[in-house]
């Protein structure tokens, strides 16, 4: 099983983590248009290759983290707390 590096707990089995969406997507302001809301809610990056993703260490410390993961090779080459 693949090991994910939790910034709080160290290397842990991938089973302990849950995928939670794309990282780095700021919530639009109150006056945002329908199109801007749709872009935020639905139009994700869906990167082929290097991606920044949010994961939750559900069966560990329970904290949100940001993983740098390759969506083709599945290699994880970095992890940091979601809001450092």
Partner 1 sequence: MQRYSTWRLIREALRAHSGWVPAWEDRDPEPRYEIVLVGGGGHGLATAYYLARNHGIRRVAVLERGWIGGGNTGRNTTIIRSNYFHPRSAALYDFSVRLYEGLARELNYNIMFSQRGMIEIAHSEADLETMSRAANSMRLSGVDITLIGREQALAMAPLLDPSPGCRWPVRGALMQRRAGTARHDAVAWGYARAAAALGVHIIQGCEVLGFDSVNGRAAAVETSRGRIEADRIGIAVAGNSSSLARATGFELPLHSYTLQAMVSEPVKPCLDCIVSSNTNGSYVSQSDKGELVMGGNLDRCPSYAQRGGFRVTQSVVAPLVEMFPAFGSLRLMRQWGGTVDASPDNSPIIGPAPVPGIYLNCGWGTGGFKAIPAGGTVFAHLLATGTHHPLSAPFDLGRFARGELIDEAHAGVAH
User: What are 61's two structure tokens?
Assistant: 């410390």
Task: Please report whether residue 24 would count as binding partner 1 according to CB under 8 A.
Answer: no
Contact between 35 and partner 1 (CB under 8 A)?
Answer: yes
Select from 15, 59, 78, 81 the one that contacts partner 1 (CB under 8 A).
15
How far apart are the C-alpha atoms of 72 and 50, rounded to whole Å? 8
Footprint on this chain of partner 1 (rule: CB under 8 A): 1, 15, 18-19, 34-35, 37-39, 41-46, 48-49, 51, 53, 69, 71-74
């Amino acid at each position: 099983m693949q090991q994910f590096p939790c910034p709080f707990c160290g290397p842990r089995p991938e089973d302990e983590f849950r995928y939670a969406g794309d990282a780095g997507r700021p919530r639009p302001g109150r006056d945002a248009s329908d199109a801007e809301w749709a872009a935020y809610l639905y139009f994700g990056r869906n990167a082929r290759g290097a991606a920044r993703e949010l994961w939750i260490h559900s069966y560990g410390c329970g904290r949100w983290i940001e993983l740098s993961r390759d969506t083709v090779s599945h290699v994880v080459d970095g992890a940091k707390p979601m809001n450092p």
